[in-house]
Chains A and B, each alone.
Chain A
Amino acid sequence: MNWRRINNILHRDLGYLCFGLTIIYAISGVAVNHIADWNPNYRIERLQTAIDPAPLQGLSGDTLVKTILDQLGETSEIKGSYRADKENLQIFVVNNNITANLATGAVYQEKNRPRKVLFEMNFLHINHAKKLWTWVADLYAIALFLVAITGLFVLRGKKGITGRGGWLTATGIAIPVFFLWLYL
């Protein structure tokens, strides 16, 4: 078996192995790239509503929290509550952070849900997992490196690295170099 055949087999099989993670990194990459414009991890809905403050007077602790949640029709599991200041009580339920003004009855709700699939993709891409995943991601990076190198030598002749492939490779290298020159 000559070296080019080994090169091509390596390129092909690593390409198959890297497919899944490449798709994840590509989609998550675009999502995270635009983090200034949107939240790539959570779908957040902010609501300004109101409750009747009269029944709240004189209440405290769990009874106060429960009365507010009853008025809002919020039935999710209660995680905790916090008196932000004299007038505002924050109540945390699963996927909803509620701030209720006890004097006026004004309520601000921040309902959040992890974006399906994208949350998990970002979790892997940004390496929130840490631990063993760091090594898996390193192996993926090495595999990508090998895919890139072996890719240069898949074809011979005019379309290979000595012809068209060479020009395209040079263009691919020139693009980041140009932006480094432009912005650095």
Chain B
Amino acid sequence: MKRMLLPLLLSLMLLSTPAFAKTYGKGVHVDKATPVSAILDTPDNYLGKTVKIEGLIVEVCSKRGCWIYVAGDRPEEKIQVKVTDGEIVFPMSATGRVGVIEGIVDEVVMSKEEMIKYQEHLAQEKGKPFDPSSISDGARFIRLIGLGAEINE
């Protein structure tokens, strides 16, 4: 019986569902949430500032868990939260869950060529077709550099 105990314990530990912490990174400390729409409408007012947003997580980086998209308060609107690789790792199970995220508002300006490369990479990762001619111009992305999060898993 004793001989069986260690392998049994190890197997149970390895096969059981991993217990993810619900708090990621440094957690959330900002009191008041800022609507995503406010950040996207007037990004210059928020650039470099630490904000808290709340919303449904609609996409997670499947390979490294290094970014998520959070749905905004207006329909068809979302914002990317990028975190430093390894510092915070979002699990794929976070998709479809409501999250509270704290981060610094940041901008990324991409030329047309950079946009094509970026979209091509995303399509490759998703296994979706991509037509470079669908990109007509560069773009300015507003995103959050994620510092911490609490996800309702």
Contact = CB atoms under 8 A, between A and B. Distances in A.
Contacts, number: 64
Which of A93, A110, A112, A128 is packed against the most chain B CB atoms within 10 Å? Answer: A128
Contacts of B140: none
Contacts of B18: 114, 119-120, 123
Contact of A131 (B21, B59, B64, B76): B21
B116 to A, nearest CB: 20
A112 B62 contact: yes
B62 A120 contact: no
Contacts of B117: none
Interface residues on B, range: 20 to 34
Contacts of B128: 108
Secondary structure dominating the interface of A: mixed
Given A44-B62, A80-B56, A131-B21, A93 B96 contact: yes
B76 A97 contact: no
13 contacts: A35-B63, A81-B96, A82-B56, A92-B58, A97-B95, A112-B62, A112-B92, A114-B92, A117-B15, A126-B89, A127-B86, A128-B89, A131-B21
